[in-house]
Amino acid sequence: MYIDFHTHAFADAIAERAISKLENTLIESGLDSPPPATRGTVRELAEKLDEWGIDKAVILPIATKPSQQTVINNWAKEIQSDRLCCFGSVHPEAEDALEELERIKSLGLKGVKLHPDYQGFYADEERLFPIYRKCAELGLPVILHAGLDAMSMDCIHCTPQMSARVLEAVPEMTLILAHLGGNFCWNDVEKYLVGKNVYLDTAYIEGNISDEQALRIFRNHGTDKILFASDCPWHPSCRERSLIERLPLTETERENISHKNAERLLGL
């Protein structure tokens, strides 16, 4: 059983535009990335999950403007199903961000995704702490994009050092760091984050990190805090699935990573 903890989809009316725009950003960044695995619709995501043998997925929408958060969270609620779990989104500059977190909870969404690059903040800025604390109080896990991002190649907004400071400041929050703690910052992940009370997802790492380093981080950090994830459509889920399958993990370790940790976090 596989639960992909990090996927993206958009409302049908904007999917093609969103994918084209993000695809161009990726091309301009010079990162070696495959063409997107879907054109961004929920239907196509579900079809691809079937093709790749993925049982469930978590969709992570992001409000890139304060005015978008309500519409996005209503959409997330609408598309949520047994198979597709959804996180909600708040924008740190929205005046009603804390109230919207309460609404996210009451809509039954499973957590909150924050994206420092797309929402214009550094992960350890004080102004984010009320949001982190509110999520902790509501029992909503927080996923942060961590490490390098195609849209901000010269400035990392969530480094492993920043994440370590956040963990110290708000230890009561359930924090998930995407891209194994920091996209292309894995030496610093080993230095500042491994072993700490934080989940790391495997989104977009296959082929970018060496198998040796991935296995070392999984083992040293603890496979009870690693989440199988792909960042679909930016990687097809089958890429990270093949990584989990080829690493010499024990059956228990593989089960933890592929679905058990996700089930616990999602309350399944």
Comparison of 58 and 131: residue with beta carbon closer to Zn ion: 58
Min dist. Cβ of residue 139 to Zn ion (A)? 23
DSSP at 123: T
Binding mask 181-220 for Zn ion (x = CB under 5 A): ----------------------------------------
CB count in 10 Å sphere of residue 98: 16
Interface with Zn ion, residue 4, by CB under 5 A? no
Query: Which of 229, 223, 227, 225 is CA-nearest to residue 251?
Result: 223
Min dist. Cβ of residue 125 to Zn ion (A)? 21
Min dist. Cβ of residue 99 to Zn ion (A)? 26
Min dist. Cβ of residue 251 to Zn ion (A)? 29
Comparison of 9 and 167: residue with beta carbon closer to Zn ion: 9
Comparison of 183 and 261: residue with beta carbon closer to Zn ion: 183
Distance, in Å, from the CA atom of 247 to the CA atom of 250, rounded to the nearest integer, reads 9
Query: Which of 64, 131, 65 is CA-nearest to residue 104?
Result: 131
Min dist. Cβ of residue 261 to Zn ion (A)? 18
Query: Which of 122, 115, 149 is CA-nearest to residue 30?
Result: 149
Q: Phi/psi zone of residue 267: left (φ > 0), alpha (ψ -120 to 50 degrees), beta?
A: left
Give every CB contact of residue 68 below 8 A, 6+ residues apart in sequence. Answer: 89, 91
Binding mask 55-84 for Zn ion (x = CB under 5 A): ------------------------------
Comparison of 145 and 260: residue with beta carbon closer to Zn ion: 145
| Total of residues contacting Zn ion (CB under 5 A) | 1
- The answer to whether the beta carbons of residues 119 and 149 sit under 8 Å apart is no
Give the footprint of Zn ion on residues 215-254 (CB under 5 A).
231
By CB under 5 A, name the binding residues for Zn ion.
231
